[in-house]
């Protein structure tokens, strides 16, 4: 092909939008609206429960409405630096806050602060990912799901 005819053919591609070819319609209504919340580090200190509840209320007041919360992990303060009673209290605080302050579904990821890694207590119920997975109702530490035609991994 000669250079001149190649340039003509390429130049013709710029006419496609004017002809309506290759055009896609863009809707002003979102297919899916979600909120991404991460590193909450919830504990019963520094007014954290009140601030987290305020965050959840803000998310639920958005327009268009938020349909789903994605939580990126570190939902509790720090399982490795607290007593077992404080850890249990943090998880209870998360459960009660989500139940009382949010009506939205939540998909969780495990964060490093959500997992107990104390080497001296490997036999403890808190050790490893299972306890946190149970609290977050996760069958596996990693998962995927479909929502409104989107696949989240």
With respect to residue 13, please indicate whether it lies within any of the assigned structural domains: no
Task: State pTM to two decimals.
Answer: 0.78
With respect to residue 108, please indicate whether it lies within any of the assigned structural domains: yes
Residues 21-78: tens digit of each pLDDT: 555 667 777 789 999 999 999 999 999 999 999 999 999 999 999 999 999 999 999 8
Q: How many domains does the chain have?
A: 1
DSSP E strand boundaries for the chain:
34-37, 68-71, 106-108, 145-147, 150-152
List Cβ neighbours of 146 (8 Å cut-off, separation of 6 or more): 152
With respect to residue 23, please indicate whether it lies within any of the assigned structural domains: no
Domain around 89 = 30-152
With respect to residue 54, please indicate whether it lies within any of the assigned structural domains: yes
With respect to residue 134, please indicate whether it lies within any of the assigned structural domains: yes
Read off the CATH number of the domain in which 140 is found.
3.60.21.40
């Amino acid at each position: 092909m000669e250079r001149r005819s190649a340039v003509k053919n390429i130049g013709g591609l710029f006419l496609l939008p004017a002809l309506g070819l290759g055009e896609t319609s863009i809707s002003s209504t979102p297919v899916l609206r979600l909120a991404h919340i991460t590193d909450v580090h919830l504990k019963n200190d520094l007014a954290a429960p009140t601030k987290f509840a305020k965050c959840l209320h803000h998310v639920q007041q958005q327009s268009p409405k938020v349909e789903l919360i994605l939580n990126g992990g570190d939902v509790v303060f720090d399982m490795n630096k607290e007593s077992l009673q404080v850890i249990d209290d943090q998880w209870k605080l998360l459960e009660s806050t989500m139940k009382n302050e949010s009506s939205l579904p939540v998909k969780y990821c495990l964060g490093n602060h959500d997992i107990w890694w104390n080497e001296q207590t490997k036999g403890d119920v808190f050790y490893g990912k299972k306890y946190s997975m149970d609290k977050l109702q996760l069958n596996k530490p990693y998962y995927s799901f479909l929502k409104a035609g989107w696949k989240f991994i």
